[in-house]
Chain A
């Protein structure tokens, strides 16, 4: 998306919050919920700058608040605007080539890589024993053994989809823990 002409000013942001709710706390909760969902929407649509596109969406909504004073669902209204923002983004989009570092297992700085691995070890220890056990088994083998182990694990979980969802949750917990560990040790 081309550089936006307008930035979200404190006044505009305040106006947006008031539109969401007269109660400050509720307005902030609603804002965070809308932000999370629309940023995720832009991620699902393959956008390289989802946060910026969300800000662009709020900008547009703020400009139209008077026309939508009694809007029954702020989320749905914002989503309608976000779709248009995405369409415009698609027209202007140029894919950014993937940095080779991204697919490399190691950080270009060996010290950081070592630190990442230490944090990962630490976070593995923080997992519940059953989750740790599961992720180890899930990644334990290669080739046919891997397929067979995962099939057995899926049987125990009531299906492959249930296993995938469980693995997704464990990976997410681990990822959050590792990011937190790296951030804490950097401070």
Chain B
């Protein structure tokens, strides 16, 4: 028990009280949990899994019954269940906000009725009286919706551009105030090497108080990833840091990579984050250059 962890299914049975008749196995597990921290942590993760399946309604009737009459009896587990539900509610609300804020599903191809009952109802009303004209009415309606949609997209784009300018100003002011530099600093990379010719490279100042760099890379288009990310310096042969990452997709559909790198991975001079991904149309690779100044 100390050296190898049991099968997750056995632990699951144990937690649902289904091993209580198998005294030896049950006792081995109980003693194992008492003395083995790794097993104890594994048990906690399986508790979370059972709670998640309970909330999903994915437990079979026998397991659901065991969950309610045995597993969920302790107050601590009830609290865990309530918290899991709260967490889920939080993310579901975010998700529905996302859906509400995304009218960018093309209205022209949208099935009638799913976009708005009012529009669909109007078409039905007119079609009952003027069957010959309903398509014209639908076209007008679609044109209005399309114009509203395009106008909304433009407004949103303008707002995003304003926010981007503000964010850049904020990053610049942080970079020019070394005395105020906190233990974590931000490096935002928007343009890859092919788009930065002749322009000043993004710049970071790393001093003795800097512990990590929070890097944000804007990706062109949306691809599910994963992306290989490597930190390379011109003088070094191998990467100074590397990771495999998934992108974050914002409410507006643009994607970015966000991660943090220990400050000691950086060197003074020009370095690059090399981002690559294997896609059906071949390997995709971009170099995001930046200038670092390390003062210890």
Contacts and interface: CB of A to CB of B under 8 A. Distances in A.
Interface of A: 37, 40-48, 50, 75, 79, 83, 90, 95-99, 102-106, 116-117, 120-121, 128-130, 133, 136-137, 139-140, 142, 148-149, 152-153, 155-156, 161, 164-165, 167-169, 171-172, 174-175, 178
Contacts of B68: 95, 97-98
B86 interface: yes
Interface centre among B44, B80, B88 (most CB of A within 10 A): B44
Nearest to B249: A140
A95 B65 CA distance: 11
15 contacts: A45-B30, A48-B74, A48-B75, A90-B20, A102-B78, A106-B89, A117-B89, A117-B90, A120-B86, A133-B259, A140-B249, A153-B246, A168-B44, A168-B45, A172-B44
Contact of B43 (A44, A142, A153): A44
B91 A140 contact: yes
A156 B245 contact: yes
Interface residues of B, number: 57
Given A43-B76, A161-B45, A165-B42, 5 more contacts: A37-B34, A44-B15, A48-B75, A152-B246, A174-B83
B17 to A, nearest CB: 5
Contacts of A175: 79-80, 83
Contacts of B42: 161, 165
Contacts of B27: 83
B33 A41 contact: yes
Contacts of B76: 43, 50
Q: Is the interface of A mostly helix, strand, loop or mixed?
A: helix
A161 to B, nearest CB: 7
For the complex of A and B, the 9 pairs showing the least CB-CB separation, nearest first, are A105-B89, A46-B70, A168-B45, A139-B91, A95-B69, A48-B73, A43-B74, A164-B45, A105-B85
B8 A161 contact: yes
Contacts of B49: 164
